[in-house]
Structure 1
């Protein structure tokens, strides 16, 4: 059973209205802290791990509770939420969220703009190609096998040397014989400065 359900989303020019139905459970807090900011009631913070943690964000404006507007009265909004939870075990909140329009960071290159202009609305056009799965009118095309096709071998290294196994990077494996190393020169006591 879902504890929080986004019931409806309405988009305006720079704002999204989100209707959320919260079904209260005793083991989970609702998890929002609201406060008055100017003429609005805003979500000040959201508890992590609460019901509201994934869908309600700080800065969201609380517009109404169960269809009743909350006009700048934080205590009335809190009381309406608590009362609804006590009576019905759920509450419907309408929140508004400001969204900033996306800005173009840089203009695309001229060739990219030409491709975009030429392909404008490509997803609306019907494809010129027919799908393979569908059978078209007429008989299927036959594919013929041609037995006498000439082939040309690729040039290779004809030195005749055997391939040498490349040793592993960690110094070899246990199956390999130990590598004989040159005798090290004894260290001299003289050091140059």
Structure 2
């Protein structure tokens, strides 16, 4: 390919399948050696969720009608997949879901600093591996600092909500494009793939796109 393949990923850091899907895609990108550039975009799984959040298992059972047994089976599946992809899920009975509007604002700001990808990965790890409270603005500022960003500025971004309008606009854009769930991956601005497709499927997609551009 003469120019890098543009890959737009719409996701939420509360979504375990988003990090699984990204890791699968990342393995496929390494295997195919396709020149690419990744662009992350905001999506809120639970925009109406209050600040204090909700127990994750209770939330999944309420939202999707899963039984406790199905929920546990899903956690086991995700943990095993994560392990195979080098990501450490540490699910616990008291793990919580949180509203992520602030995380998306922080990511928007990090994008202006050229650090959106690094912060995105750090937020996934903070939530799923270390079970840090991403609804706490102090925790978010800490994570930004640990990623190499200015902590005081990160705190200021969250305090004054300066990027709230832009993030809302971006969220609305993607929902207007028909995105109702994540992960959603758009290759070359035209090929939409939803869900964690698996490394083999992502590899096939990348090879087909590379052949088409060749």
- Smaller-chain TM-score range? under 0.3
Greater helix share, 1 or 2? 2
The structure carrying a bigger strand percent of its residues is 1
Higher RCO structure (Cα 8 Å, ≥6 apart): 2
State the TM-score, normalizing by the size of structure 2: 0.18
User: Scaled by the length of structure 1, what TM-score is found?
Assistant: 0.20
